[in-house]
Each structure stands twice: as C-alpha cells, then as structure tokens.
Structure 1
Amino acid sequence: MMKWFSILVLVLSLLSISCAMKMKKDGSDSLGSDELKGTPMSWETKAAIRDIRKNKINQVTIDLIAIKNQKLRMEASATLGYQVASLVMSPNEFVAVIYPQKKILKGPLNERSLAKTFNIPIPPTALYSIAYDEPIRGWKCQFDANKVVSMCDGGVAKVEWLNRKEGAKLIKISSATIEVTWFFKAPEPKELTPELFVAELPNGYQVQEIK
C-alpha cells in the first residue's frame, strides 16, 4: 500500500512540474499573479531611445528591479559601461540621478515624474505594467489571444508588448517626441536586501525638487 501511495505522489509531482513548465513556455502565465506580488524580480534589458526632435538615438543597458506596484529601481548604463542614470521610486517618492549632468531630481511620485526627468510621456506606474504585462491604468488597452495585454494607448503615447517568448519580450513606446525600443530578457527572482531600493546620491550633485 505504501509503495503505491509513493508512486502516486511521484506521478502527481511530475504532472505539476510539467504543467508549470508549459504555462511558462506559452506565455499564458503572467507575472501579475498574486504569489509574485511581494517578490523582487529582476530584468536585464536593452533600449534604443530615439529623440525625434533632435533625430538622435541613444543605446543603453537597463537593469530593472521591482516589487510589483510597491518599489522599483532602474540603473541605466551606456554602451561602454559608464552610468547614465538611476531611478528609484515608491508610491510616495521619485528619485532620479542623471550622471552626465551631475543632477539629482526628487519629489513626490506623480503622473508627470517620468516626463519631467527623462522626457518619456508615460506615468511612472506604467513601468510596473510594462514589466509585469498588465494594462496601464486609465489607458485604452488591447489583449492578445492569451488575454495578456498587447497594446495600451494613453493619447499622448502608446505602449506595445511584442515578440513574447519564454519570458522575454520587446516593448515599444511611441509618442510625438520620443520612441523607445526596449528588449527584456526573461525575469529572475532577486534577493531582497535593505539597500536594494535605496537611492545612492553622489556628493556634490545639484539637487532639484520636482513637483
């Protein structure tokens, strides 16, 4: 009897693992699931940012870490590896460091924080939506065959989720002034440490309050 019970447990375990792997591969399982809400996740990403007015393109590598809808950190570096910008935000605070300009911009989080600091006309909370494959609140959104968000239009800007495959994806942000082509590798869990979401503010930088 014990032998048959052990075999049954083993079979059920294998079926459970197989189902989980299938969900991850076909993209139908979203990181928006409840069990991941308190888990820090990390994405390695690369972005091409085109300033339409200046007709200039910047290539950056961006490490993004987030706890869904709670805290987010981004570290951007140029092709040769030097730091370009840092961003740390929570529901009540937005802190950005622009290294080439030796500037620190900080203030309460609001809808215009990203536009004022990086000229990207999307609400900062849309970064959670982009990373976790969820609709942007207040925008008109469309969904794919798996009922996962594929496009959101906010009027002044549009965000598209493209080429999803085994956790990786391509994001396109389009507006009249800027275009961002943003490639995400599959996310990985990140260990939560006390300093993970603490902004590092260099000495001697100009501090500017944003409202």
Structure 2
Amino acid sequence: MKKNSSTRNAVRRESASQPEQLLADIAFVQIEEMIITRKLPPGSMISESQLAAEMEMGRTPVREALQRLRQIGFVEMLPRRGTLVAGVDIRQQLELLEVRRPLEELVVRVAALRATPEERANLQRLAQQMVAAAERGDMEAWIRTGGEIHDAEVRATHNSMLITSMLPIHAQSRRFWYHHIMQNRAYVEGAQLHSNVLTAIAAGDGDRAAAAAHGLMQFIERFTRSALDTF
C-alpha cells in the first residue's frame, strides 16, 4: 500500500526516536502490509538490509519483525538462503476456517459482554468506515479497515489467549482477501456483514453478534470455495 511522502517521512522521523521494541512493531506492521498488498509477492526473497534502509532503521528490529511474520506463516526462513515470502494456499484457507468459525463466535460474544464504552464507539465507527470504503470501491481502505476491525474485536474481549490465537488467523485471512476480493467483487456484501457483527457487539447483544458472525463466516466460506473453483 503506498503512502504519500509526507506521511512516510513522518513515520521515519517518529521511528528514529523510538526504542528498539517499538521499532520492531513498526517494522512488523509495514512489512506485513507489503506482503498482504504484494509489494513483496509470494516466492520473493526478502533482503533485511534493503528493508532496513527503506524504513530507515537498523537490521535488528527488521529481523525481529521477520521472526514474528514467520510465526504467522507469512515468511519462511531458509538455511543459507535467507527469508522467503510464503505462498497463499487456498485449500489451507478452508482448513483455517474450520478453526476460525467457533473462535469467531466466541470472540464476538465475549466482546459484546466486556467491551468498554470507548471500544463500542470505535467498533461503530469502524463499521461505518468499512461500508464507506466498499461503496467507494477503495479496496486498500477496505482491507486496512478489516485489519483494524479484527484487532478491535479481539482486544474488546480483554482475553489475552483469544488475542494471541486470533492474530495469525486474521492475518492470513486478510492476505487471502486482498488477492481475491477484486475478482469476486464481494466487498459490499462483506462490509455489510461485518457491520452487522460490529453493531451487535456495540449494542451488547451477544446472541445477535454470534448469529451475525455465523452469517459472516458462511459468506467467507462461500467466497473461499468460489476462489478455489476458479484456481
């Protein structure tokens, strides 16, 4: 995803003054985005030094970010060769959905119960933001908002185990969607289904949130199978 020069420079100025761990977090987000948007395409080799130079930081936070990306299946570490961007396996997405479906319904039930007023307001804002991005046909904004929604939902559970478990599942899902969503033009329906979930969580209605999440997961499975049929 492209950033304008002023935004990129601001990020770099901020990065230069941050401690090492925060730099690793910044590197993780930026490299993850490069992989999702295929700026770093599947099968390509990653140069730590080149990424460090581009993001204007040392190699240590980049190396740590790549290790975290390996844990969620975005890259592979090849002995004596370096770091490879992993491919996207559509059949693996169906396996992922078997795991995601019950966890997703648990997430939204718990979030509906425990979310703070500020978190509920943010979820409502994100619902409107995703629908607006879909109506504009702005897929980069759609995918970016999807990531914010996933993060906001799981953090609203205030359950560290759920947050840790859902991180790699949601990351792989975003990567798959970015590649296939434009081919199916299903983003408007997807945005509305996400909005239904978020609205129910914000209202504190766990049963309605779970039912909406079930509908969303049915849509995602249908979408994934249609991509498999054309693969």
Alignment TM class, shorter chain as reference = under 0.3
TM-score, with length taken from structure 2: 0.20
Structure of greater Rg: 1
As a proportion of its length, which structure holds more strand? 1
